[in-house]
Homo-oligomer: A and B are copies of this chain.
Amino acid sequence: MSSETYPNTWRFLKGRVRDSMSRNEKSVMEDLVQDVCQLGHGEKILTRGSVTQRSTFLIEGFVARVNERDGKRQIISIHVPGDFVDLHSYALKKIDHDLMTFGTARVGYVSHVNLDVVMTREPKLARHLWFASHLDAAIHREWIAKLQSLSADGCLAHLITEVHARLKAVAAIEHNSFAFPLTQTELAETCGTTPVHMNRVVRKLREQGLADISRKKITILDAEGLAALAQFDMGYLYQNLPEPVRA
């Protein structure tokens, strides 16, 4: 699980799969990730409707799923290092949204042909990948619940708290401060509000001593207060499970 042995996938292994994978499965996983490359800020990895023969694995940085229709842009979900960003393109082929980097990012690609091999020869690893896509859906569901029930400040608090928790789980963060290269306008596009209102919400969180967002960096000032505002209950991230092991 060290970053030397598994330079590309160690965060995935750490964040999700823990210790239940064999050494062999871990190295199969590491070998799946190919064509590693460095991307700049705001680069589009895929666009809506495009057909692809490989899935994108995020090694470092942030990638978001973005909807762009008739001029308006929405950010549907945000990915942290160690995430498969579009694993669903394996089964779905077409992709239903754009994929773009926020800040510089390092990604690798997993060819669908190789995933076929995993499906037939490595059922346990396949199940771990399935776990990852189910976790993705669970994160979507939680976000639906928050968009339904919370106002903009609660949504922003949730976003901050969730990203922080996910970064921590993959050891991509140490303290209560982390780089997060979204502008206020993009935060608004994530929370389903307007840039103007998001500006006020950001200020409110700062004034209340909960969190400070400035220069594309988030500093958590009061984690408990934030979690309370977001009604955050991290069960849906499935991080403390002993791990989905089957006999």
Contacts and interface: CB of A to CB of B under 8 A. Distances in A.
A45 interface: no
Contact of A140 (B49, B140, B191): B140
A49 to B, nearest CB: 7
Interface residues of A, number: 52
Contacts of A191: 148
Interface stretch (A89-97, A198-206, A208-216, A222-230): A89-97
Contact of A123 (B77, B120, B138): B120
A133 B144 contact: no
Interface in A185-244: 189, 191-192, 231, 233, 235-236, 238, 241, 244
Interface in A98-139: 112, 116, 119-120, 123, 126-127, 130-131, 133-138
Given A93-B241, A138-B92, A148 B149 contact: no
B192 A94 contact: no
A169 interface: no
A65 B141 contact: yes
A69 interface: yes
B133 A127 contact: no
**A interface SS class:** helix
Contacts of A46: none
A72 interface: yes
A109 B51 CA distance: 34
A67 interface: yes
A74 interface: yes
Chain B CB within 10 Å, residue with most, of A92, A96, A148 = A148
A190 to B, nearest CB: 8
B91 A147 contact: no
Given A127-B119, A134-B133, A137-B140, A244 B76 contact: no
Given A96-B236, A148-B192, A130 B131 contact: no
Given A88-B134, A147-B147, A96 B246 contact: no
B92 A145 contact: no
A30 B241 CA distance: 31
A142 interface: yes
Of all A-B residue pairs in the complex, the 9 with the closest CB atoms, nearest first, are: A148-B192, A140-B140, A88-B134, A91-B131, A137-B137, A119-B123, A147-B147, A96-B236, A120-B123
